[in-house]
A and B are shown apart, each in its own frame.
Chain A
Amino acid sequence: MNMEGMNMEKQESKRDTGGHDHSKMESDEILDWKRKLWGSWVFVIPIAILMILEKFEMMLFDEKITTLLILILGFPVIFFFGWHTVKYGLKGIFTFFFGMDSLISLGTVVAYLTGIASLFGGIADYSGVASMIMAIFITGKYVEAKARGRATKEIMKLLELGAKKARIVRGKEEIEIDINDLKIGDIMIVKPGEKIPTDGVVINGESSVDESMVNGESMPVDKLKGSNVIGATLNQDGILYIKATKVGSDTFLAHIIQLVEEAQGTKVPIQKLADKITAIFVPSILVLAVLTFAGWWMYSGNIGSALGIAVSVLVIACPCALGLAVPIALTVGSGMGAKRGILIRKGEAIQTMKEVKIVAFDKTGTITKGKPEVTDIYSKVKENYLFEVAASLERLSEHPIAKAIVNRAALKRYKEVKNFKILRGRGLEGSIGKSKFVVGNHTLMNERKIQVDYFREKIDEYEGLGKTTMIVSENGKAIGIIAVADAVRDDSLMALASLRRKGYKTVMITGDNERTARAIASQVGIDEVVANVLPEQKAGKIEELQKQGMVAFVGDGINDAPALKQANVGIAMGSGTDIAIEAGDIVLARSSLIGVVQAISLSKATFSKIKQNLFWAFAYNVVAIPIAVAGLLYPVFAEIAMALSSVSVVTNANLLRRKKI
């Protein structure tokens, strides 16, 4: 009755959220084990009392009746609550697909049969033990299933992140539709506190949006007309009208989920050993149990105790801890990463990372923002005036440097420009009011015979730092200079300092000229600069670096793909929505080099957890099995040890969460 009530509730909540198969299945499994757990202990506790009384020779009943009672009480434990295990276990033995069920079911069934045999004469009765083993096994499985649920928590959350409904404008009406019916071009209305249903572009309204799910960054991002927004991020305080640009499996969230899911299928190399052992583990234990039985029977002549010892061997061996050791730690690690915008695509990267000695970076778009910004101005006239005229002219050009000046000036109104002309590769000219302006580089000023001596020193200083200088002149006289450079990302300096502190050699590989490259390198603190590298040579440079040690290469994905592949670990900066899925072993959703530092420490922490887990799982079996073979372990204690060992592996993996990344 109670069970039904719980199922109803679950059904309800499933409808509420639109539900996801994964979470439902997970909790179904836990619920199932929980039901079996209570059921089996209800029978096992009286069995235990009977067995203890028997031990102290306080017989409530005649010996045969006690045995019969234990058999009756134990029957439902093994053949009802444990039926799933017994059925698959025995099936496994006959089809040669052995699992740990095979060990448990063989152990419990054989032990149970000794009870029946003992009714007919002189054999030790292990039927009580059989029920206890099954109950402990079920308890262990319940605890393990719960811990496994915790381990997959972050990833499951990611899967459930998407919005289920969207409110869209159809004609003049607002209607609510299912997310699956949403089409590209639909106009969505997103109110404060709501999730943005899918990727799109804002066409009306202003708000700030919490994009922490994408980049782990807690600061909300301002969105206004023309801003791109990402599905499943959270609208904070204004109403946004958004045109859907991507739906279904093309969205950013869908890509991330795909990445994370695929990573779960990849294997960490160290796991191969564990897999090999797991594959032959169960049959080996079956053989060992038979040999143990035969050996003890011949040695002691007591078939009963020989059976008991063999049962111990069967139930103490734990392939589960071995098999779970690696994947569970990988899952916890990649879940932690996903929460921080670090997507581990290949399990192998985790193992390789600890060998990495050199971290190489692409410059543009990786260390720097990849678009020019105004960095300095030097002027004879008022700064405002200089920007006013420069921006009014530059507004008419599409050049990135022009954009940088316009952005910096951020004028509300522009001056009217006449006789405007773009002078390709040099600058531009035009008239504002009665004055004639020329804005451009050195070459242009020389052409027009405009004197720049007053600014000479500053120009040399800026260019020495790798900046591009634009000279503004009015009626044939230079009035000011504006320096533009591809600015370094805010946290590049911090990230590089942290890498150096950890002992990594840092290298910058760039297609830019030596001077600009060196300027940036000294600004952020890079050990080695390789400049003037053509895109197709990047991979070759990585190969050269690899002679000195393992290399991790950080690039912004699209043009750096060959270098990312060549490097031992490729870390792709996926800037916002245009993540380059195929490029790296690790993809950073947030475009910050801090992510590189985090990815490295996360990989290392995860791998050391993997090693710990493997060690404990191996050590457990190596120590426990001989003890059982030697007959030093009562079967019930053997099963307790077994349950604890698989629970401890999962729990230990969850402890990874405590590590500060």
Chain B
Amino acid sequence: MVKKTLMIEGMHCASCSGNVEKSLKSVKGVKSAKASLLFKKADIEAEEDVNLEEVKKAVSKLGYRVAGIK
């Protein structure tokens, strides 16, 4: 299991963060996702071999920008 934090730009309402969570959870290997509108980030827990590009895509396909992963 790895924990990652995505810094996300562009979320500006509660349904945005809800959508980000939903979309992140649908990525293969992602076990949990919590998006915070206030802190402009999402924390995920995922399998070791999760494809971070897929994770990024899950956010960007909704129109938000991933400013960084740590």
Contact = CB atoms under 8 A, between A and B. Distances in A.
B14 interface: yes
Interface in A241-270: 261, 264-265
Interface in A130-155: 141, 145, 148, 151-152
Q: Interface centre among B18, B22, B38, B63, by most A CB within 10 Å? A: B38
Contacts of A319: 13-15
Contacts of B13: 99-101, 319-320, 323-324, 646
B7 interface: yes
B18 A275 contact: yes
Nearest to B34: A265
A275 to B, nearest CB: 7
A335 B5 CA distance: 21
A98 B15 contact: yes
Contacts of B39: 22, 152, 261, 264
Interface size class of A (residues with CB under 8 A): 35 or more
A646 B39 CA distance: 18
A278 B36 contact: no
B19 A152 contact: no
Given A21-B7, A88-B62, A323 B14 contact: yes
A152 B16 CA distance: 19
Given A29-B12, A319-B13, A264 B19 contact: no
A87 B63 contact: yes
A378 interface: no
Given A141-B12, A275-B18, A323-B15, A97 B62 contact: yes
Contacts, number: 84
Contact of B36 (A264, A275, A282, A320): A264
Interface in A332-352: none
Interface string A4-37: 0000000000000000011001100100000000
Q: Interface centre among B23, B39, B40, by most A CB within 10 Å? A: B39
B62 to A, nearest CB: 5
A278 B13 CA distance: 11
Interface in B1-58: 7, 9-10, 12-19, 22-23, 34, 36-40, 43
Interface string A195-239: 000000000000000000000000000000000000000000000
Interface of A: 21-22, 25-26, 29, 84, 87-88, 91-92, 95, 97-101, 141, 145, 148, 151-152, 261, 264-265, 275, 278-279, 281-282, 319-320, 322-324, 327-328, 331, 646
Interface of B: 7, 9-10, 12-19, 22-23, 34, 36-40, 43, 61-63, 67-68
Given A21-B7, A25-B40, A323-B37, 14 more contacts: A25-B67, A87-B63, A92-B19, A92-B62, A95-B62, A97-B19, A98-B15, A100-B13, A100-B15, A101-B13, A319-B14, A320-B13, A323-B13, A328-B38
